[in-house]
Amino acid sequence: MTPRTGHIGLNVTDLDRSLGFYRDVLGFGMLGEGKEEDRRYAFLGGESGLVLTLWQQAQGVHDTDRAGLHHLALEVDSIDQVKAYETALRGYGVEFAYEGVVAHEEGGTSGGIFFHDPDGSRLEIYAQSGAEGAPAPSESAPTCGFF
């Protein structure tokens, strides 16, 4: 048996700002938090339990040139939900890697949106189907691998 992902932990520079993004824009519920000045953190999740932990201990934004987390992919049930998140994220001022919903691969049925959180961590919200006819940014490589 292989292990399953239990939750993802992200270092952030400003916990309050990141909570505004992950809780208020993406809709994660607050499951717990630490408020000591030098040990601030938040446990976020939903019906399925703990999904994400935010740790206020980073000194700078995400560095794509260093080994570590490439991106965090969040799955939803439909492309309509992906588009609803896109609208909410645009209202928050998020910049996207690609314009609108893109397919994961040329001619693929799965696809989503690709963007960055307030600290530059790369995020994806996708659905397994519904992206038929959406453009793929690259013919030869997975869309999620190079943004």
Are 124 and 144 in contact by the 8 Å Cβ rule? The answer is yes
Over the Cα atoms of the chain, what is R_g? 16
Are 43 and 32 in contact by the 8 Å Cβ rule? The answer is yes
Active-site residue, from 47, 124, 132, 139: 124
Catalytic site includes residue 124: yes
Q: Which of 49, 38, 48, 44 is nearest to 10 (CA)?
A: 44
Q: Which residues are catalytic?
A: 124
